Amino acid sequence: MEPEVQNAEFTPPPSWVDVFQRAHCDGATALTTFQGMLADEIVLPQSAMDSKDPMAAVRATLDYAHVLEDQAFFIPGEYALEALTGKWAIHYIEETRAGGHLSYGLATHWDDLKVRAAMAGLRSMGADPYLALLKEMKHLIDDPKRGKKFRAGYGANDPLIRDLDKRFADLELEEPIAPRFKIWLKSLRKVKYVEGSDGSAHLNRIASANRLFQERRAEAQRAREARERSDPAFTTARALCEMAGVLFLGLVGATPATLREHWPDAPNREGVALNVSTDHGTRTALVFEQGGLMKKRVAVLLDPSENEPLTQIALTREDYEAIFNS
């Protein structure tokens, strides 16, 4: 007699981000409690996919990921892996385009999850040349002799870094990422295309799967308020706004920048650009060092019409380094 065979239901192995989160989320708070996959789908507007500009599909995917993390308070691993990895792959491309591989490192602090997600996204969409460059840079960062310097953002003139950045720039000209990203999206069965206001209904449905929404929102609000009271970037931006007579509403972001990109008459050096939300719109503040041996560390708020400083304050070395490394 033939042995009876039971039809076992196949359970796919957990994704790498699932394993990562279960190892790193200790459950001490709502935002460090990993719930597993809650919404393995991606909802995008049909108009983004119909657009002739492939960047429309890229931006729609980034918007989807940001809504789930920033408004619905999902954490990585709780929403579609492709949205997460696609987001961080594009982040690598855009940060490196803007300031090179060292700038990318300053923006991510070489966070394991962010870098692994970027690599996974590039691999999934078949962007192997970009993946190879990121792997090369990660190898340099992990080098026990030179890695510390590169992690701190120094070494822009190092031949290895200059070569990596040049090859990246050449690759962008030969093979821009956006068309490949759009083709990749079209190959995913989990992507749902919606018309107009239908998108909001789907996002609300997906957001309702987060059982910790209320707790996470309250926790995020407390963390934001605490940061605004003590974080040097926030206190610097608020002080500049008070001196300029505008109401500080919040800090939108901070990115490494060449000063002259924002202020034509600025010293020819690198700094940090703070995007400051005010009651008169978004303003740019620049944080940088000036002088030679006797360096001074300053922050200026730019006049949006003249691109000239409205106000300036001196910074302590500790505050400057905290902003630069944030």
Q: Which helix (H) or strand (E) segment is 253 a member of? A: strand 248-258
- The answer as to whether 72 is a domain residue is yes
pLDDT recorded at residue 65? 95
Same domain flag for 137 and 93: yes
- The answer as to whether 8 is a domain residue is no
In whole angstroms, give the CA distance from residue 3 to residue 20: 40
- The answer as to whether 315 is a domain residue is yes
pLDDT, averaged per 10 consecutive residues of the chain (326 residues), comes to 53 88 97 97 96 96 94 97 98 91 89 97 98 98 92 88 97 97 97 88 95 97 89 94 92 82 86 89 90 84 84 93 82
Cβ contact 319:294 at 8 Å: no
- The answer as to whether 109 is a domain residue is yes
The burial class, CB within 10 Å (0-12 / 13-18 / 19+), for 229 is exposed
Cβ contact 31:216 at 8 Å: yes
- The answer as to whether 11 is a domain residue is no
Same domain flag for 112 and 209: yes
Same domain flag for 56 and 109: yes
Region label for 109, one of left (φ > 0), alpha (ψ between -120 and 50) or beta (otherwise): left
pLDDT recorded at residue 36? 97
The residue type of 244 is A
In whole angstroms, give the CA distance from residue 125 to residue 88: 13
Same domain flag for 81 and 130: yes
- Structural domain of 179: 17-214
Same domain flag for 197 and 248: no
Last residue of a domain, one of 163, 182, 214: 214
In whole angstroms, give the CA distance from residue 260 to residue 237: 20
Same domain flag for 134 and 274: no
Buried b (16+ CB within 10 A) or exposed e, 283-307: bbbbbbbeeeeeeebbbbbbeeeee
What six digits make up the tokens of 143? 């080098």
What six digits make up the tokens of 222? 């407390």
Last residue of a domain, one of 188, 214, 240: 214
How many domains in the chain? 2
Q: What angle do CA 198, 204, 208 make, to 5 degrees?
A: 150
CATH number (domain holding residue 75): 1.20.1420
3-state secondary structure of 44: strand
- The answer as to whether 186 is a domain residue is yes
Same domain flag for 199 and 269: no
Same domain flag for 193 and 244: no
Which is it for the CA torsion 26, 30, 36, 42, positive or negative? negative
Cβ contact 80:192 at 8 Å: no
Same domain flag for 109 and 173: yes
Same domain flag for 79 and 177: yes
pLDDT recorded at residue 260? 87
pLDDT recorded at residue 314? 95
- The answer as to whether 314 is a domain residue is yes
Question: Which backbone phi and psi does 8 adopt, to 5 degrees?
Answer: -85, 140
In whole angstroms, give the CA distance from residue 36 to residue 21: 9
Same domain flag for 198 and 249: no
Q: Is the pTM of this model over 0.85?
A: no
Question: Which backbone phi and psi does 288 adopt, to 5 degrees?
Answer: -160, 170
- The answer as to whether 66 is a domain residue is yes
Same domain flag for 243 and 203: no
